[in-house]
Chains A and B, each alone.
Chain A
Amino acid sequence: MSQSNRIKTGGRIDRNKPVSFTFDGKTFQGFEGDTLASALLANNVHLMGRSFKYHRPRGVLSAGSEEPNAIVTIGSGKRSDPNTRATVVEMFDGLEASSQNCWPSLNFDIGGINNKLSRFFPAGFYYKTFMWPKSMWMKYEEIIRASAGMGVAPEEGDPDTYAVKHEYCDVLIAGGGPAGLSAALTAGRTGARVILIDEQNEFGGSLLSDHGAEIDGKPAMDWVDAALAELKEMEEVTILNRTAVIGYFDHNFITAMEKITDHLGPQDSNDTPRQRFWKIRAKQVVLASGSFERPMLFGDNDRPGVMLASAVRTYINRYGVLPGKDMVVFTNNDSAYKTALDAFANGGRVEIVDTRVDPKGPLVEQARSLDITIHTNAAIVGTKGYRRLKGVEVMELNEAGDGVKGTKFHIGCDVVAMSSGWNPAVNLFSQARGKLRYDEELTSFVPDHCQWDNYSVGSCNGTFTLEGALSEGLEAGLKAAQAAGFGEGQSVPATPSAPEVEHGDMRTLWYIPMDRPLARGKKHFHEFQNDSTVADIHLAAREGYISVEHLKRYTTTGMGTDQGKTSNVNAIAIMAQIRGVSIPQVGTTTFRPPFVPVTFGAIAGHDVEDLFLQARKTPMHSAHDRNGAIYEDVGDWKRPYYFPKAGEDMHAAVQRECKAVRDSVGIMDGSTLGKLDIQGKDASRLLNLLYTNAWSKLAPGKCRYGLMCNEHGMVFDDGVTTCIGENHYHMTTTTGGAGRVANWIEEWIQTEYPDWDVYATSVTEQWAVSILNGPKSRKVLEKLVDIDLSAEAFPFMAMKECHIAGVPARIYRISFTGELSYEINVPARYGLHVWDALLEAGEEFDICQYGTETMHVLRAEKGFIIAGQDTDGSVTPMDLDMDWIVSKKKGDFLGRRSFTRTDTARTDRKQLVGVLTEDPNVVLMEGAHLVRELKDKPPMDMLGHVTSSYMSPNCGRSIAMALIRDGKNLKGQSFMVPTMSGKAHKVTITDPIFFDKENKRIDGEPS
């Protein structure tokens, strides 16, 4: 039998289901129900990883979620999952695992040289050494990261799927051990909505490992099974195993990660998500998250084979694995005696090293009665073995426990099971910003108070007896349900009896002394994953990093993937010793989410690939696809950017489109423009408030352009608003500003003028908008409509309701190009129909489909602004040379009072002007600066910057607009524009209207 450490019977593994798996390419056997760690231990493999900094060989320390050492990569290629704890990986047939942070192999890792040189690599080494020269830090960092790195993230796409789920409950219970199950029972019985969450595959928590525990005279697991059976019958109880609560946020918002298929291995189909990320709002929270055993801080306490005593017991009882044949139990308390007894019962040779002078109590007596050797008042001062523990050196402690005496003696062993006491798992409570209290008797931090409704029960509350856990759970479950409005009048059931033997006192020695000074030859690791030692804490203190927050950053204690679950309290205690203060005076750092590592996939859920971000499409999108549009992302919208013909690049296509519109006719999709329907007797009053110009006299069927300013008098949007009928208006906004304007209007109506008779509702997507532009627009349109299109009957800035191609339409004669233009609005369902009809009708005029870039060029030729491109939130209408649009007569409007502020009223503000390059073929970079005097290098006297710049085929040269200090007074003057490449262009400031200054083209060709 290859599984040399497997106990013949017992454990919760399924011996009928053997599996094989590989670790670093070598094949091993295990059973279903094993974890990767237990299966490797069954095969007597302890060496599972290399440490972060010194590359020391490391074995498994724990049997659960706190594991700092056995960090491996599961799977390979696109399915590789790095930085996974071997202690929580469930075994399946074909599982593939590999070690990390070692090269060329786990057994011979060249990085191990760091260990030999470790005297030169204390805490803070990198910060101190690689600071000079400063410019090289980025380079150093790359190399340091590569050699210190954890696992490698796969570069290919993840073939698995993930999901997110939102849920609510009355009572959420984190932890499914005896306390959590008890709470679930009493909460569930009230009919409250309960979610019971446990990280492991099975419920039972500590009872899964506690061979011999009894509840009401029967095996404790019988009670667990009965509790689960009862809970499963409750309709409102959700039971989640393989689910870790990872975050506890304000107002009892809880996040959890459920592993759905991880334990089954890679799946052929990805229909079922691999993991699910839960976002839960709980009225009440019961924390039953258990506790973590503390390691002993003795010399070279990190050798593979040195494990937590409770973990050894879990491997024996739960997995049927005796991690080694020759065991030394090193303890300061009675709980580790259970490990000694169970190991002995399963054929292990056991000796106990106990720091206490005179341990007594039933467990100690039992060990003595079995002739197990107990070395009292003794300590391990060092270990033998490098890749695997071979033995320990033991000495007698002095009275104070801060030194050793007598003769050193050696005990041969391949496993040390150590226990220095227990820390309640207060991580989630602390995440919720609950305050902790130091319990002198337990020598650990326990929950004190929290602003959110929660209850800590069982060992995470410092209650370490089974009866205590059951009792606290039963009470908290009912109290929580009652606080949520359930179970009125119900009382807490009697606690089942669960008698336990009494435990004796502890003798806490935070640092285990040795026969030579600290840091000479041996390392006392308190933080295994980040290779931080007791000596590092001393160094931190010597260098002044005595605050717990500084200690954490300086030594990186608690900053690994395990978040210091086994190390934090020890580190704080050592610092307290050094400073000669009490442990609470040192204090704790705040625990932060996630409690255990989370995959990015789970957080993203379905929001990947096409569902990552909505692609908003207009009703004419399929036509644009068909007609070869290249798209531009405008917000979330997909807008045609340009429509290239075969062989055309963007420049060629845009130049052609620009020419075609002014020579004949073009068509563009304007559906994305923001639109609002405004109705009510005070509608024109609202428009007078929002816009700078006057709106009271706009007649039905007439359109008007307006600028919107914020309270500071700065332009933030523009558009055309049309009077549809009495007290009824249709407002348009920029595409990107649609939401902002809608919110702006709603805010003013709701907060300042709720008494006004006016309502505004977004209709952006109600209307599909096809825009015709160019002298031949009328000729195209008249083929499709039932109204007179002559300039007399349908003048500029008017709106007509009519039919086009058989469907109802509103046509607005407004123009963003200076050409004859019709903006044809039809209900969205007809958008494609009308677009296609217009293309067909325009065929004889070579109608040209054009996109946003051509629109930009054409409007710039006319000097029309784009709010957000030529304005940036610091530009007034006057800066845009648009004084004409600011009413001097009407009453107050938004922005008005700011126009009289001295800075706003200044006449030398940055103003919008045209800019022409001396060389007509040069197109300036948008953002380029105009300078008064060219110098070798910055700083130069900057006048302002280019906001819009294009090659205009209709002007036969490049054109640009710019915001220039005192620009209106500088027209006709020449300046320089330096470029990134070192060249400079000479430019002249002009009027910003470059084409058809007299506005002669607006009525197009007569029909």
Chain B
Amino acid sequence: MVETAIKKVSPLDGLAGPVGGNVKLTSNGFVGKVIIRGDSDNKDFVMAVKDVTGVEIPTTALTFNEGETYSIYWMGPDEWMIMTPEDGEVALETALREKLGETPSQVVNVSDYYASMRLSGPAAREVLKKGSPLDLHPSKFKAGNCTGTRFAHATIFMVQRDEEPTYDINVRISFAEYLWNYFVEASREFG
């Protein structure tokens, strides 16, 4: 068996960020992401996820719960995304599947499906308003919220981290370069 140095490639590698200081755009690297589907009225399901991650499944739409290692994001009435630090996803996937056993559910590793980038800075919200038809006013979407939406032609899953504002944006990797370049162009007017 031939062994060569293993290289990991992200679609965001080598892309230049915005020039000015009012919008920052960075790659979040290979954050681990696992989709979990199930019924939050089923105590076995909720407990199993809690046992493995130490985090309660959020049942309020557009919210997420954060723990020490894992954070869980509401994506839909029966769908959540669990984020882990890089390379934690396989162990998490295995542990969840084991713990859930016969409980109706699905556990899917989507760490490579989504690229994750961080858009922040005073003008970050203005940049998002150019492509997202969502109401991003601080009274409507704030730190602690997450949502699926679109930005221009890309379907995205977006998390607001703080009121700076800082957004983490997950997008299918085949759209990542397009989305990144769109953000950079959209940032240009804000310096």
Neighbouring A residues of B2 by C-beta, 8 Å = 783-784, 805, 837, 840-841
A613 interface residue per 8 A CB criterion: yes
The minimal Cβ–Cβ distance linking B57 to chain A, given in whole angstroms, is: 15
Interface members, chain B 11-51 (any A CB < 8 Å):
11, 30, 35, 37-38
The minimal Cβ–Cβ distance linking B123 to chain A, given in whole angstroms, is: 12
Closest to B153 in A: A614
How far is it, in angstroms, between the C-alpha of A763 and the C-alpha of B114 when the chains are bound?
A: 10
The minimal Cβ–Cβ distance linking A667 to chain B, given in whole angstroms, is: 16
**Contact A679–B113 (Cβ < 8 Å):** no
**Contact A832–B9 (Cβ < 8 Å):** yes
Neighbouring A residues of B189 by C-beta, 8 Å = 161, 163, 271-273
B70 interface residue per 8 A CB criterion: no
Contact among A679, A806, A828, A833 with B106 in the assembled complex (CB-CB below 8 Å): A679
Closest to B191 in A: A271
Neighbouring A residues of B8 by C-beta, 8 Å = 829-830, 833
**Contact B185–A765 (Cβ < 8 Å):** no
Neighbouring B residues of A610 by C-beta, 8 Å = 181
B65 interface residue per 8 A CB criterion: no
Report if A166-B104 is in contact (Cβ < 8 Å); known contacts: A828-B113, A833-B9.
no
Query: Which of A163, A785, A829 has the largest count of B CB atoms less than 10 A from its CB?
Result: A829
**Contact B37–A829 (Cβ < 8 Å):** no
How far is it, in angstroms, between the C-alpha of A606 and the C-alpha of B106 when the chains are bound?
A: 39
**Contact B173–A619 (Cβ < 8 Å):** yes
Closest to A168 in B: B135
How far is it, in angstroms, between the C-alpha of A680 and the C-alpha of B8 when the chains are bound?
A: 32
How far is it, in angstroms, between the C-alpha of A473 and the C-alpha of B92 when the chains are bound?
A: 60
Neighbouring A residues of B152 by C-beta, 8 Å = 606-607, 611
Contact among B177, B181, B188 with A271 in the assembled complex (CB-CB below 8 Å): B188
Neighbouring B residues of A279 by C-beta, 8 Å = 133
Per-position binary interface string of chain B over residues 102-132, scored 1 when its CB falls under 8 Å from any chain A CB and 0 otherwise: 1011111111111000000000001001111
Closest to A671 in B: B174
Interface members, chain A 722-774 (any B CB < 8 Å):
757, 759-768
Contact among B11, B111, B130 with A605 in the assembled complex (CB-CB below 8 Å): B130
Neighbouring B residues of A805 by C-beta, 8 Å = 2-4, 6
A615 interface residue per 8 A CB criterion: yes
B59 interface residue per 8 A CB criterion: no
**Contact A761–B110 (Cβ < 8 Å):** yes
Report if A168-B137 is in contact (Cβ < 8 Å); known contacts: A611-B185, A766-B113, A807-B6.
yes
Interface residues on A, range: 35 or more
Neighbouring A residues of B38 by C-beta, 8 Å = 759
Interface of A is mostly: mixed
Closest to B39 in A: A757
How far is it, in angstroms, between the C-alpha of A762 and the C-alpha of B174 when the chains are bound?
A: 14
How far is it, in angstroms, between the C-alpha of A677 and the C-alpha of B130 when the chains are bound?
A: 33
Contact among A616, A759, A808 with B105 in the assembled complex (CB-CB below 8 Å): A759
**Contact B130–A166 (Cβ < 8 Å):** yes
**Contact A613–B37 (Cβ < 8 Å):** no
**Contact B130–A614 (Cβ < 8 Å):** no
Query: Which of B9, B35, B110 has the largest count of A CB atoms less than 10 A from its CB?
Result: B9
How far is it, in angstroms, between the C-alpha of A271 and the C-alpha of B110 when the chains are bound?
A: 37
How far is it, in angstroms, between the C-alpha of A840 and the C-alpha of B134 when the chains are bound?
A: 48
Contact among B1, B172, B182 with A783 in the assembled complex (CB-CB below 8 Å): B1
How far is it, in angstroms, between the C-alpha of A272 and the C-alpha of B78 when the chains are bound?
A: 43
**Contact A617–B11 (Cβ < 8 Å):** yes
Report if A606-B185 is in contact (Cβ < 8 Å); known contacts: A168-B140, A679-B107, A764-B113.
yes
Closest to A785 in B: B1
The minimal Cβ–Cβ distance linking A339 to chain B, given in whole angstroms, is: 42
**Contact B134–A166 (Cβ < 8 Å):** yes
How far is it, in angstroms, between the C-alpha of A203 and the C-alpha of B163 when the chains are bound?
A: 33
**Contact B130–A829 (Cβ < 8 Å):** no
A618 interface residue per 8 A CB criterion: yes
How far is it, in angstroms, between the C-alpha of A837 and the C-alpha of B6 when the chains are bound?
A: 10
A831 interface residue per 8 A CB criterion: yes
Neighbouring A residues of B181 by C-beta, 8 Å = 610-611
The minimal Cβ–Cβ distance linking A184 to chain B, given in whole angstroms, is: 18
The minimal Cβ–Cβ distance linking B179 to chain A, given in whole angstroms, is: 8
Neighbouring A residues of B143 by C-beta, 8 Å = none
Query: Which of B10, B78, B104, B135 has the largest count of A CB atoms less than 10 A from its CB?
Result: B104
**Contact A827–B35 (Cβ < 8 Å):** no
B52 interface residue per 8 A CB criterion: no
Neighbouring B residues of A606 by C-beta, 8 Å = 130-131, 152, 182, 185-186
Contact among B9, B108, B110, B178 with A831 in the assembled complex (CB-CB below 8 Å): B9
A164 interface residue per 8 A CB criterion: yes
Contact among B4, B9, B105, B172 with A765 in the assembled complex (CB-CB below 8 Å): B172
**Contact A828–B112 (Cβ < 8 Å):** yes
B154 interface residue per 8 A CB criterion: yes
The minimal Cβ–Cβ distance linking A141 to chain B, given in whole angstroms, is: 36
Closest to B109 in A: A766
Interface members, chain A 636-685 (any B CB < 8 Å):
636-637, 677, 679-681
Closest to A615 in B: B178
Neighbouring A residues of B191 by C-beta, 8 Å = 271
Neighbouring B residues of A785 by C-beta, 8 Å = 1
How far is it, in angstroms, between the C-alpha of A761 and the C-alpha of B35 when the chains are bound?
A: 8
**Contact B133–A759 (Cβ < 8 Å):** no
How far is it, in angstroms, between the C-alpha of A828 and the C-alpha of B111 when the chains are bound?
A: 9
A167 interface residue per 8 A CB criterion: yes
**Contact A618–B174 (Cβ < 8 Å):** yes
Per-position binary interface string of chain A over residues 159-199, scored 1 when its CB falls under 8 Å from any chain B CB and 0 otherwise: 00101111110000000000000000000000001000000
Neighbouring B residues of A622 by C-beta, 8 Å = 9
A24 interface residue per 8 A CB criterion: no
The minimal Cβ–Cβ distance linking B174 to chain A, given in whole angstroms, is: 4
The minimal Cβ–Cβ distance linking A894 to chain B, given in whole angstroms, is: 22
Query: Which of B7, B30, B153, B173 has the largest count of A CB atoms less than 10 A from its CB?
Result: B173
**Contact B108–A761 (Cβ < 8 Å):** yes
**Contact A763–B110 (Cβ < 8 Å):** yes
A872 interface residue per 8 A CB criterion: no
The minimal Cβ–Cβ distance linking A372 to chain B, given in whole angstroms, is: 53
A786 interface residue per 8 A CB criterion: yes
Neighbouring B residues of A828 by C-beta, 8 Å = 112-113, 173
Interface members, chain A 605-636 (any B CB < 8 Å):
605-607, 610-611, 613-619, 622, 636
Neighbouring A residues of B114 by C-beta, 8 Å = 765
**Contact B6–A833 (Cβ < 8 Å):** yes
**Contact B137–A637 (Cβ < 8 Å):** no
**Contact A837–B4 (Cβ < 8 Å):** yes
The minimal Cβ–Cβ distance linking A985 to chain B, given in whole angstroms, is: 41
Neighbouring A residues of B174 by C-beta, 8 Å = 614, 616-618, 636-637, 765
Neighbouring B residues of A767 by C-beta, 8 Å = 112
The minimal Cβ–Cβ distance linking A122 to chain B, given in whole angstroms, is: 48
Neighbouring B residues of A681 by C-beta, 8 Å = 102, 104
The minimal Cβ–Cβ distance linking B130 to chain A, given in whole angstroms, is: 6
Neighbouring B residues of A614 by C-beta, 8 Å = 153-154, 174-175, 178-179
Closest to B9 in A: A832
How far is it, in angstroms, between the C-alpha of A549 and the C-alpha of B178 when the chains are bound?
A: 46
How far is it, in angstroms, between the C-alpha of A563 and the C-alpha of B178 when the chains are bound?
A: 39
Per-position binary interface string of chain A over residues 263-292, scored 1 when its CB falls under 8 Å from any chain B CB and 0 otherwise: 000000001110000010100000000000
Per-position binary interface string of chain B over residues 63-106, scored 1 when its CB falls under 8 Å from any chain A CB and 0 otherwise: 00000000000000010000000000010000000000010111
Sort A-B residue pairs by CB-CB distance and give the 8 closest, nearest first: A759-B106, A616-B174, A828-B112, A614-B178, A759-B37, A679-B106, A757-B104, A168-B135
Instruction: Give 27 A-B contacts (CB < 8 Å), ordered by A residue.
Output: A161-B189, A165-B130, A166-B132, A273-B189, A606-B186, A610-B181, A614-B153, A617-B174, A617-B177, A618-B174, A619-B9, A619-B11, A622-B9, A637-B174, A680-B104, A681-B102, A759-B105, A759-B106, A761-B108, A763-B108, A764-B172, A766-B112, A805-B3, A808-B90, A829-B8, A829-B112, A832-B9
Known: A617-B177, A837-B2. 5 other contacts (CB 8 A): A611-B181, A616-B175, A619-B9, A761-B35, A763-B110
The chain B residues found within 8 Å of chain A, CB to CB, are 1-4, 6-11, 30, 35, 37-38, 78, 90, 102, 104-114, 126, 129-135, 137, 140, 152-154, 172-175, 177-179, 181-182, 185-186, 188-189, 191
